[in-house]
Structure formats: C-alpha cells, structure tokens
Chain A
Amino acid sequence: MHALIQGVILGILTGGVYALMASGQTLIFGIMKVVNLAQGAMVIMAAYLAYELFTRFGVDPFLAIPLTTVLMFGFGVLVELIFLRPLRRDDKSELSLLVTFAVALLIEGTLSVTWGTTYRSINATYANSSWTLWGYQITVVRIWAFVLSLGALGILFWILNRTRFGRAVRATVQNPESARLLGVEAQWVSALGFGLGAATAAAAGSVYGLLYPFYPGSHYDLISRLLSIVVLGGLGSVGGAVIAAVIVSTSSAIVAATISPAWSEMTFFVILILVLLIRPQGLFGNVDRGAI
C-alpha cells in the first residue's frame, strides 16, 4: 500500500511535466491539424539549452526558463515558416508527419554533433534533497517541477482565454474557415501557435533535464508517451491533454511501483488501445472536428 501511494504521488507530480509538453503538442494539432513528431525533440533540445546555461554560466534551470522559452518560441516560428508553410493543403496532414519527423531527426543530429551521444544530467544543488511527509518521500525537484508546470500551464490558459491572440487561436481551432472570414490571420496564428507549442516544450525541457538524465535519442521515448497522452485526451483539447497526462503517468507510476519499472512503459500503450476500442475520439475530442 505504501508503494502504491508513493507511486500515485510520483505519478501526479510527473504528470504535471507531461501535461506541459502534451498541451503544446495538442495545441499545435488543434490549430494546424499537424501532429508534431518533433515535440519530444524540442523538449530535449531545451533540456540541452538549460544544461549549457547551467554548466557554463551557472544559471539555475528554473531561472533559465524565460530565456529558453523565448529562444524556442523563435525556433518554433521558424520551423513553421520554413518547413510547414510551403506544404500544400490537400495532403498537409500526411506530409506534415514526415516533415516534423525530419525536424526531429535534424534536432537529434545537431544535438549529437554538438554535445555527443552520452547521457547528460543537470546536477543542481537541490537535485538530491527531499522532504518526507507522513513517511512518503518526495524530492524537492519534483515539487518545484510540478509547481512550475502548473504555473506554465496557467500562463498558457491565460494566453488562450484572455488575450486577442488566444481568441484568434481558439477561433481557428473551432473553425478555420469562419475564423479567416472574420479577419483572423490564419497564417500568423499557425506560426505563432507553433511557436507557443515550442515554448511549452522549452519550459518542460528545463524541468525534464532536472528530473532525468537525457541524451539526443531520448526524444523517441518522449514522443511515444506524448502521442498516447494527446490521443487519450482527444487531439486538439488542451484540457484533455492535461487530464490524460495525469491519468497516464499516475497509472504508469503505479505499475512501476507494484509490478516492475520495465513494464510501466507499456501502461501508456495499453491505455491508448483501450481508449481506441471504447472511445476512438479520446476523452475530450470531438467526433466532427477532424480529430478523427
């Protein structure tokens, strides 16, 4: 029982980080109908940026987040402008899968050339300290990671719900044609939306780098989990992605605690397959809005 509760706590805390990554990915899908296979690679890229800032200038990964988000936002906008915009509309969804995968490979290759292929980790002073609450051990880093993820998600929701840009984004998600008719510059919404997705990857990347060791190939693990999460939550639904991330990472942590860590990876996929059998559009997906 102790292991189970410990697993649940760990799962919820980790779920926050995954929620951040997945919200960016599902946002990109919602706006552009593009499944961004480079989301995991962008997270790892941001982790390396945070690593470099930490080892070279001693900047704390949490404090580096404003800088890395801005950098990654710019990177995301560039990727959209250079690689995704030229695609023709009629087969955009298929081709964009390939393009974003190629971008992922490009990032992986560049990271490998720059930093090598060995595992790196960011060893902040507080990386190993932990609190004990009623007999349950919780590492400080995870708490901070969770709080930060909640904060970043809060900012994301604020942008989406309270700003002009956010309204344009939501309009585009709901109905691209009408949004365009009403004067939303769909092209710019796409570019900035992709940037916003990359920015969430940046925030998540700093946190990920603190929590786990990483190497350029880590994005394969990440992307498979992220995809399960966004499909479970319903493609395009940010709230759904957050809830799905918590569900999935909690159950995977429970499996890791009670059965074996080797099988926790499988939890993601088992849940995914069950969802597809019972509710193919995901928890919060709409049947008629292109998610399926």
Chain B
Amino acid sequence: MKLGKIATGVATAALLMSTLTVASPAVAVQNIVVWADKGTIDTIKTKVQAWDTAESAYTVSLVQKDFSTVRDALKVAVPKGQGPDILAGAAHDWVGNLVKANVLLPIDAQLPANFKDDFVNGALQAMKYNGHYYGVPGWTENIAFLRNVKKQKTRITSINQVKNGEIGINYSATTSDPYHFYPFQTMFNAPVFKMDSGGDWTDTVGMGGSAGAAYAKWMKSKGTAFFGKPADAKILCNFLNGKIKYWVTGAWNINAIESGASGCKTGLKIGTGYSIDPFPKGPTGITPKQFLGIRGYLMVASGPGNTTNVAGATLLMRYMSSEATQFSLYDNFNKTPANKAALNRAKDNPVIKGFADAANTVPMPNSPAMDAAWVIWGKAQTRIIQGKESKPDVAWANMVKALQTAINKLN
C-alpha cells in the first residue's frame, strides 16, 4: 500500500514538473538542422562547418539520410513538426512533389531582386514551382556528346554522320533511360511537356503528335544496331579502346575515362584522348536539347506556427549559393557550379568548360507529372528500340495517352 502511494506521488510530481517545462527560455544560439544524403554530406561538410564557425549566432547539425527515401521521411516528419530546416543535395525535380505534400516553404521574399542573375540560365528557375521559389541551386549536371579523338579527329555536326555500332548510351532493357535519350528526342521537336508563354513547363504532354511519331519511327529504324544493346556494361571499355567512337554521358564518368577501368587500364586524356562535344544536329537539322539537372538546397516548412529558424536557414542557403562556396565545391569535389561567377572561374578546367559549352539545356521539369512520366515513357521507348513494337508510332501515341491519363489523376 505504501509503495502504491509513493508511485502515485511520483507520477503526480512528474506531471507537475512537466508542465513547468512548457515555458522554454530564449536560446541565444539557434541550431539549423540540415538533412542530406551521404554523397552530399561529404561534399558540403567542410563549407557548412566553416559557416557554423563564422556565424556565432547559429550552429548546424548535418543529418545523414538515404537519398532514395529522404522524400518519404520528410513527408512523414514535417506534419509532426519534426522536419529539418534545409534539405541539401535535393534533386530539383523533387520540388513539385514536395510542394504538393505541404513540406516546403517559399523563399521569394528572402531573395534579392537580382539574385536570378547570379546563376546559370535556368538554375534558379528550376527551384520554382507554381510561381514560388523554394530553394537555391548548388551544382548542375548535364550530359554531352563525348568523342574518342583518336578514332574521330573532328567534331561531327549531324547525327547522320554516325554509323551503326559507333555510339554508346546507357539505358535499361525494361525502363530505358529517357534522360539520356532526350537529346535524340528533341532532334524531332518532341519536348516531354509543353511550355507556357513564360517558358515554364506545363503538365500537358508535348511529345505526342507527328513529331513524336517521327521520333518513334526513327528509333525503330535505328534500333539496337545503332544505340547498342541495353544494360551494356562494356561501354566504358569500348569507348577507351575505340570500339565505339561516341558516348552519351555526363561528368560522373570522367574519372573513369581518365583513370581507366579493369580490363582496359589505359585512360584517355581530355583533348588528345577524348573531347566533350555539343550534340550533333538531328536528321533534319534541328539542334537538340539536354536536360539540366540541378542539385540544390530546399527550404523546409517546419510545421504549423514554427518559423524561428527561417532567418538562419536563409543565411546558410545564401552562403552555400555564393560564388566562394560554389567555387570551393568545384575545386575540391569537381561539382559544376550553378553560380555564374564561380562557373566562369572554374572554366580553367577543360572538363567543366566542355560540359558547360556543350550545354544547350532546359531545366528538367520539376512537377509531379515529370516524376510520373519516367517509367511509362521509358518503357515505351525501350520496347521500340529493341524492336518489340511492330507499329512504333501507335505504341508511342498510346504511351502519350496513358501518361496524360496518369498525370490528370495526380490532380
């Protein structure tokens, strides 16, 4: 009996004391919580720590999250008020999906009016969805047309100059890779979505009609003989050995090209061994476009009523988007700066210069519609290339229809 009384006493005391903790004192140092995947953390850690040290009013906690599941984690955390202040290293095409899930905070009011001019064309635009900016760009990625200089001395200007078996492109047997094929698709003026008058992407599929049909027929006529077989693990070696002359790829393969791989140990040097070219023009002379991918820093809404960390988070975002920081990320980690001034300084590097000069890019759409498109789009594409569709134009038109249905269902 006595013990019972003690227990009730303890519990009552616990209740009383817990009510006392409600009034929390003002904190002199605010902690900015940043979620990022491992690769991003490795890249930005030094700079973030430098900012932490320089700004006495703030500290930063970097929290590692899995790249493929961080979006789901965010959607669960924010409604509970447990989200971070910033999502770093986010792919810009996540923006629409995250805005729809109520987890991002617009930062338009915090951006200086001329801020847009600080970045390469379209980079800040890529962080915009439904008329609001939700983050700042960090670094960019795009693909180019790599050429083995020993096998092909001069730059080619038309895709018609490429013969069967000369090109390498990474794609999967089941879902293709519309990202790598996009330059070929735009050779037929078949953009994935239509754009509005202001140059913003809409949710209307734009790759149907006669342009899409022409592209589908062209893909079928070229087939695997031209594009190579899917999931080919030997593209790198074939490119180094000169078995293929061209490779459609991005900066992430440059290290492998320069240092070689197992089975083909001699790497190539830029200029004498390989060259980073713009894409050649299409069969009818249309200049193709590539997607510009942007990894950036997104401002996370911290749940109802909680706005205390916005000031610090904005300051950190401006620091990460500044010329000095972005140049440093290039200098140490070879990230192509989205900041124009930093990019110009980085252009001493022939690889950065090559990809920047080869870029005739449009920012990849950042809407949920884009997210929905990849699999449906790629499935049709890979079937046509592998000769599984006897009527490629019909298959393509069906795909466009199914995609539009799927997108309409999102809203």
The answer to whether A and B belong to the same complex is: no
Task: List residues of chain B with CB under 8 Å of any chain A CB.
Answer: none
Task: List residues of chain A with CB under 8 Å of any chain B CB.
Answer: none
